């Protein structure tokens, strides 16, 4: 646990040295998550992209792009660039995501959204047998420079997930997350209104077994860049 806390605070201190621009907490949370749709680390948020807004991101060789329609729908694409350079293999592992805003906190106290994650482009028989996509529901609430998030996603070990985040120095979003299976933590750093640098640690509940830096970088460390316009 001491190692985990040391790494996390080191990440925050490094991010404080990066020249960045102030943004609000919910602006961070409409940028792509590792899984594709707008959110925290692996968990979706209750927020969605506004009408005609676009966001893009890359984390660990996964490229994501999302688009907002009529302030109530967000649709996106997640492309795996890690496993193969063959276009057919890439297309076979490419998936869609879809999120619908149900209520917004300006009127009803919380932002509530529901969606589908990892919808295959090609519905092969194997993918149909594996039940490929995951439905979810997420509720987010902003408290000044903090946000809380709870929800349920099918086909996770527990299903229930929860997130807490806080803006630090107006430019850094620190996140703690339980994704239904593991604990994750990290920071999103605003370089300007459009670009973020993101540094995450995944599965930190298993990090006590780490023996060398290479193992940490390979299995637990995630670096990402996101863009929103």
Domain CATH code at residue 203: 2.40.160.40
Residue 48: exposure state from Cβ atoms within 10 A (0-12, 13-18, ≥19): buried
Which pLDDT score, from 0 to 100, does residue 208 have?
A: 79
Find residue 223's DSSP bridge partners.
199
**How far is Cα 44 from Cα 53, in angstroms, rounded to an integer?**
17
pLDDT bin (cut points 50, 70, 90) of residue 1 is very low
Q: Examine the pLDDT at 10 and tell me if it is beyond 70.
A: no
Rg of the chain (C-alpha set) = 17
Contact 21, 193 (CB under 8 A): yes
Query: Higher model confidence: residue 170 or residue 55?
Result: 55
Work out the mean pLDDT of the chain and round it to a whole number.
Answer: 86
Tokens of 224: 């990402």
Which pLDDT score, from 0 to 100, does residue 172 have?
A: 92
Which pLDDT score, from 0 to 100, does residue 196 have?
A: 94
42 — alpha (psi -120 to 50), left (phi > 0) or beta?
Answer: alpha
Contact 142, 121 (CB under 8 A): no
Give the lowest-confidence range in 42-46, 193-197, 213-217.
Answer: 213-217
Number of domains in the chain: 1
Structural domain including 186 reads 2-228
Contact 70, 51 (CB under 8 A): yes
Q: Examine the pLDDT at 135 and tell me if it is beyond 90.
A: yes
Three-state SS sequence of 92-134: HHCEEEEEEEEECHHHHCCEEEEEEEEEECCCCHHHHHCCCCE
Contact 54, 65 (CB under 8 A): yes
Strand pairing report for 111-120 and 160-168? unpaired
Q: Is 88 helix (H, G, I), strand (E, B) or coil?
A: helix
The candidate with the shortest Cα–Cα distance to 117, out of 38, 188, 13, is 38
User: What is the DSSP secondary structure assignment for residue 204, as one 8-state letter?
Assistant: G
Q: Is 122 helix (H, G, I), strand (E, B) or coil?
A: coil
Contact 113, 100 (CB under 8 A): yes
Q: Examine the pLDDT at 27 and tell me if it is beyond 60.
A: yes
**How far is Cα 22 from Cα 190, in angstroms, rounded to an integer?**
7
Find residue 199's DSSP bridge partners.
187, 223
The candidate with the shortest Cα–Cα distance to 45, out of 125, 148, 116, is 148
Q: Examine the pLDDT at 45 and tell me if it is beyond 70.
A: yes
Q: Render pLDDT for 183-203 as a digit per residue (tens, 0 to 9).
A: 999 999 998 889 999 999 999
Q: Examine the pLDDT at 124 and tell me if it is beyond 70.
A: no
Q: Render pLDDT for 57-86 as a digit per residue (tens, 0 to 9).
A: 999 889 999 999 999 999 999 998 876 667
């Amino acid at each position: 646990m001491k190692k985990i806390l040391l790494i996390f605070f080191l990440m925050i201190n490094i991010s404080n040295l990066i020249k960045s621009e102030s943004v609000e907490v919910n602006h961070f949370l409409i940028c792509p998550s590792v899984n594709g749709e707008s959110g925290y680390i692996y968990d979706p948020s209750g927020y969605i992209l506004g009408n005609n807004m676009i966001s893009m991101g890359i984390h660990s060789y996964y490229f994501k792009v999302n688009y907002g329609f009529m302030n109530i729908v967000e649709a996106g694409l997640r492309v795996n660039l890690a496993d193969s350079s063959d276009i057919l293999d890439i297309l076979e592992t490419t998936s869609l995501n879809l999120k619908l805003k149900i209520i917004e906190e300006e009127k009803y106290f919380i932002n509530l959204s529901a969606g589908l994650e990892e919808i295959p482009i090609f519905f092969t028989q194997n993918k149909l047998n594996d039940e490929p996509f995951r439905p979810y529901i997420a509720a987010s609430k902003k408290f000044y420079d903090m946000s809380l998030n709870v929800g349920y996603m099918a086909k996770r070990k527990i299903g229930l997930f929860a997130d807490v985040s806080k803006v630090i120095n107006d430019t850094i979003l620190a996140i703690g997350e339980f994704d239904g299976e593991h604990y994750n933590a990290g920071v999103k750093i605003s370089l300007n209104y459009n670009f973020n640098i993101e540094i995450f640690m995944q599965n930190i509940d298993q990090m006590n077994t780490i023996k060398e830096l290479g193992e940490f970088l390979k299995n637990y460390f995630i670096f990402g860049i996101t863009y929103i316009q």
